[in-house]
Structure 1
Amino acid sequence: MKALLKDPLILALILGIGVVYLAISFHYLSRNSQLAAKLEKVLIATFIIVIIGETGATMFPLPKFHPRLLALTITTPPTIAAQIATYIIFVLLLSSRLRHTLKDFIQVIVTVLVREPFLFTLLLLVSLSAFWSDTPGITFRGSLVILETAFIAFYTGKQYSWQELYNLLRWLSLVVLILSLYYALLVPSKGVLDIGWGGIVGHKNHFSFFMALTAVIWMIHAFYYPKQRRFSLVVIILALFALNQGNSGASKVITVALIGLWFYLGFVKKLKPQWAFVSVIIFLIITIVITILLTENLEFIVVDTLNKDLTLTGRTDFWPLIIDKINERPLLGYGISGFWQPWRGLENPAADVIVAKTEFAPPHSHNGFLDLATELGWLGLSIMSLSFLTNLAKAVVYLGKAKMPAAGMPILLLSYTLMTNFTESGLLGVTSIFFWYVVVAVRTSIDLDEKAIKSAEKSQELARLQSRYYY
């Protein structure tokens, strides 16, 4: 194949055919806004799958389109060029739609900035972190891909209602489940890791976490849409089976916690906003404490009930070491991608983070909050905490104003973010967890702002008029 591409005539022919197909696709999409809208949803869902979990999808060719490749020094120029070209092509194909959907973009930015200033402050720190990094080039590239992820998430949260986002998450979770079952059962060399299923996700814990969310999402669907209950039950059973094969005790606890949270929201929805907020905070604190106890300390429960060994306790051995390293640069940290740098040898800031009794050198903190603190310091972690509380407050207010199941989605996603980042990473970065966090921040800000709601309705009306005009 590479030899064929080196032939100038064949390469020119392939490029010519590509240009023709691109022109034809652009013509049809510019005249059919409904088709363009469907393509946009497919591309967004694909992007979320590409960055799923903390490591991203492993199914070829999805890793080739992971934005993280743009930040790696080992990525070849052709790969970078191909990825950038792919993004440009998709933007061109959707340009007729984007001309309408981006008209109110500045207004939405102002709305979110007013209602959630901490997220923008955090992204500002991300943008500037190259100035205090020991490897500014690496940090700068890492910052750019995080901002890229945030931008796509911002657009997604702006453009789609919670009902649409709920449907998007539900169907993409089904796609991930089906593909993971295929690879785990039929191609185990790729879908099964040494210690459990990984599916199309690069790590068993993140795979199991997403299967927990999948089971809960489809359980909610079975509850509110009885006509599709049988199909939903099949999906739930398959998701729970896959979750169990992932051998992650924490994911089982998270599943129970999220189910309990959903039914608890039925009670919270009836309370006044201030009491509802306090109730949700109390529930999350209790849930997190129980989760930590079950997955870290209780040998009988962890080994006999959850069928898991006590390797999780190793985290508590190196967490104090990481905190000591953060305290060496307490205010701003080491910059994006500036702490875990094993290729630097003794100059690696994390070189001293080694568990003495096992000589284990962790590749990351196994805790999203600590990883954020290593990159942006205690200041960055504080800003993220304030951002989370702000979004949780907005989510509680939205819970009281909207109808279920859409009304409960913001709190569900925020709780999932919180629970999964106590034992794994992914809070800040090119991850689906960070993607959905930004979506929640943007969508709840819009839903609680009357001007933004009217602007969104106007944008949707323009899209409908465009469709009528072309027909």
Structure 2
Amino acid sequence: MIQILKFKKQSIDNLEIALTFIIFIYYLGLDISGQLTQAWALFGFVVVPILISRCWKHYFWVLTRNLPILIALIVIPASTLWSTTPDATLAYSRAFVCSTAFGIYLAARYTPQQYMKQLAWIFGISIFLNLLVPLLMPGYGTDGEVWKGITRHKNELSAAMALAGTFCFTHALYGNKKHRWLAWLGLVVAFFILLRTQGKGSLGIFVGLLTILPLNQIIKQQYKLRTCLIITALFITVVVGVTVTLNFEYIVVDLLGKDLGFNGREQLWNYLIDRGMQRPWLGYGYAGFWTDLDEGRAVAVSFPWIGGAGDGGGNAHSSYMDIFLQLGWLGLSLVAITLTITLAQITLLLGVTKQNEFFWMLQSSLFLAITSYYESYGGFFAFRHIFWVLYVSHSCYAAINFHRIFITRQKSLWKPENSLVM
């Protein structure tokens, strides 16, 4: 009888892990038809609450440890009350709540080590598909000579491969020795795909994040050596920062092939700031600006290169700008608070625990903060993207373990009861 019960429990656990992977795949941002997207979204609306029910006590405890995320879960659906397009805001808010709830579930259900194993599989699948599809299905996976893989745009693919590359590089250097060859292989393939996308911005961020890799080794050294290494690293950082500042135009124009106006974004942002200042405190409501046909058409007239503008689509090509339009200063304040707290907590936990998992969470959070400046997909408060799901998970991991280590003075990290065996 006991063996039968164990078998049933293991079967249910395996099903839960499988459903988690399916939801993860959905948030990779696949370029699929609208009907299939809606069907997959409906699947998520049904499955995510079921997953949460498996750990609901831990789930709500984790949620209450992260007040900025909790406030966002309240404010964004509530923005329906002042939205210029309340029906659209309500629909997009449901998707936001679902993706955010899934991110919280990951932190409540899995240990950081189990979570990283999941990400290894997800990034591995993403790298494999984004290599295979352009080669076997160029009509779907490429846009001319540029690769876009399974995503909707080459910039999404370049960002995904840059993030996957940092994950692989970190684990190739500091991960399990038995699996390092897989991490090196993933890094090489991800970097190849990144080059094929011609996404120079993502390439620059990828290279920039590599410069903090030594930090993970520095914090593990003895006090005196660590102090010397930190001073040296700070000196190098200052030198590099001054060099980049003095040669900013050369780097942007000649090396990255961009103009100083970020390919027309600066003019767009100036226009959108003017529109945002019409409703500066609360904005137009979540997704309210671009689904307002009058506002969208006005943008389309001045900036015809914005895809979907005037038809219920479009974006500001900056997550921060879109948040200002949607939620005003309230939304930007929430982003600033959650990012500051999360980065501080992860950094402190990294210094105390010296665990590779927190180091990559730091890299990933920095990645999101940087890419949100010049892209809207997958940025803060995104409703359908793995970047936001990952950020929510990392923020919750940081919050619950910061509370355990620094508030309650426990010596070990928080571990969910009955965590799944992977």
**Contact 2:89–2:287 under 8 Å retained in 1:** yes
**Contact 2:140–2:149 under 8 Å retained in 1:** yes
The aligned length equals 394
Q: Cα distance 1:139–1:88, how it changes in 2: closer, same or farther (>3 A)?
A: closer
* Partner SS, residue 395 of structure 2: helix
Match of 2:368 among 400, 403, 417: 417
Shift of 1:409: 2.2
Q: Cα distance 1:167–1:65, how it changes in 2: closer, same or farther (>3 A)?
A: farther
Q: Cα distance 1:458–1:354, how it changes in 2: closer, same or farther (>3 A)?
A: closer
TM-score (norm 1): 0.74
Partner in structure 2 of residue 3 of structure 1: none
In the TM superposition, what are the counterparts of 1:329-408 in structure 2 within 5 Å? 329-341=279-291, 344=293, 347-348=294-295, 350-353=296-299, 359-361=304-306, 363-408=314-359
CA distance in 2, matches of 1:320, 1:445: 36
Q: For residues 167-197 of structure 1, what are the alpha-carbon distances to aligned partners after superposition, in whole Å with 9 as ceiling and x for unaligned? A: 2212211101111111100001111124621
Match of 2:81 among 116, 119, 131: 131
**Contact 1:162–1:409 under 8 Å retained in 2:** no
Partner in structure 1 of residue 150 of structure 2: 200
Shift of 1:43: 2.4
CA distance in 1, matches of 2:180, 2:160: 21
Match of 1:222 among 172, 194, 213: 172
Q: For residues 290-316 of structure 1, what are the alpha-carbon distances to aligned partners after superposition, in whole Å with 9 as ceiling and x for unaligned? A: 59x86997322123xxxx788942111
Q: Which residue type is aligned with residue 353 of structure 2?
A: A
Partner in structure 1 of residue 30 of structure 2: 57
Q: Cα distance 1:228–1:427, how it changes in 2: closer, same or farther (>3 A)?
A: same
Partner in structure 1 of residue 393 of structure 2: 439
Point out the more displaced range, 228-237 or 176-185: 228-237
Shift of 1:411: 0.8
* Partner SS, residue 459 of structure 1: coil
Shift of 1:29: 9.9
In the TM superposition, what are the counterparts of 1:49-448 in structure 2 within 5 Å? 49-52=25-28, 56-58=29-31, 66=37, 69=38, 79=39, 84=42, 88=46, 101-110=55-64, 112=65, 116-194=66-144, 196-224=146-174, 225-267=176-218, 298-303=252-257, 312-341=262-291, 344=293, 347-348=294-295, 350-353=296-299, 359-361=304-306, 363-425=314-376, 426-430=379-383, 431-448=385-402
Q: For residues 318-370 of structure 1, what are the alpha-carbon distances to aligned partners after superposition, in whole Å with 9 as ceiling and x for unaligned? A: 1111111111100000001111137x2xx23x4333585x7434521111111
Q: For residues 384-415 of structure 1, what are the alpha-carbon distances to aligned partners after superposition, in whole Å with 9 as ceiling and x for unaligned? A: 11111011111111101223311312211111
Shift of 1:457: 4.0
Q: Cα distance 1:64–1:45, how it changes in 2: closer, same or farther (>3 A)?
A: farther
CA distance in 1, matches of 2:199, 2:416: 46
* Larger Rg belongs to: 1
Q: Cα distance 1:213–1:104, how it changes in 2: closer, same or farther (>3 A)?
A: closer
Q: Cα distance 1:187–1:330, how it changes in 2: closer, same or farther (>3 A)?
A: same
Partner in structure 1 of residue 310 of structure 2: none
**Contact 2:401–2:413 under 8 Å retained in 1:** no
**Contact 2:216–2:356 under 8 Å retained in 1:** no
Matching of residue 48 in structure 1 with residue 24 in structure 2? yes
CA distance in 2, matches of 1:86, 1:376: 25
Q: For residues 256-304 of structure 1, what are the alpha-carbon distances to aligned partners after superposition, in whole Å with 9 as ceiling and x for unaligned? A: 11211222343366789xxx9xx99x979x88x959x86997322123x
CA distance in 2, matches of 1:338, 1:371: 10
Q: Which residue type is aligned with residue 276 of structure 2?
A: I
Matching of residue 460 in structure 1 with residue 418 in structure 2? yes
CA distance in 2, matches of 1:65, 1:236: 31
Shift of 1:145: 1.4
**Contact 1:295–1:312 under 8 Å retained in 2:** no
**Contact 2:23–2:44 under 8 Å retained in 1:** no
Q: For residues 232-254 of structure 1, what are the alpha-carbon distances to aligned partners after superposition, in whole Å with 9 as ceiling and x for unaligned? A: 22221111110001111011111
Shift of 1:39: 3.0
Point out the more displaced range, 155-164 or 224-233: 224-233
CA distance in 1, matches of 2:320, 2:41: 30
5+ residue gaps, structure 1: 1-27, 70-78, 465-471
**Contact 1:302–1:310 under 8 Å retained in 2:** no
Shift of 1:142: 1.1
5+ residue gaps, structure 2: 308-313
**Contact 1:334–1:374 under 8 Å retained in 2:** yes
CA distance in 2, matches of 1:368, 1:91: 28
CA distance in 1, matches of 2:5, 2:56: 17
CA distance in 2, matches of 1:131, 1:91: 25
Shift of 1:141: 1.4
* Partner SS, residue 328 of structure 1: coil
* Partner SS, residue 313 of structure 1: coil
Identity %: 24
CA distance in 2, matches of 1:87, 1:243: 32
Matching of residue 449 in structure 1 with residue 422 in structure 2? no
Q: Cα distance 1:87–1:325, how it changes in 2: closer, same or farther (>3 A)?
A: closer
CA distance in 1, matches of 2:283, 2:315: 15
TM-align CA RMSD? 3.6
